[in-house]
Amino acid sequence: MRRILGKEEFLKWMEQFMPSLRKPDFDVAVALVGDREDGQLVHLDGLNFSRAWVLFGLANQYPKEYGHLEPLAHEHLAYSFPNLIGDNYEGGHWLGTFAIYALGEQ
Structure confidence by residue, pLDDT tens digits, 45-61: 999 999 999 999 999 99
Total domains, the chain:
1
Query: Taking the CA of residue 26 as centre, how many other CA atoms within 13 Å lie in the half-sphere pointing to its CB?
Result: 18
Mean pLDDT in residue range 89-103: 77
Residue 98 covered by a domain? yes
Question: Does the residue 8 lie in any domain?
Answer: no
Average pLDDT of the chain?
91
Residue 92 is part of which domain span? 25-105
Does some domain include residue 99? yes
Identify which has the larger pLDDT, 37 or 35: 35
13 in any annotated domain? no
**pTM for the complete prediction?**
0.88
Res 90 pLDDT > 80: no
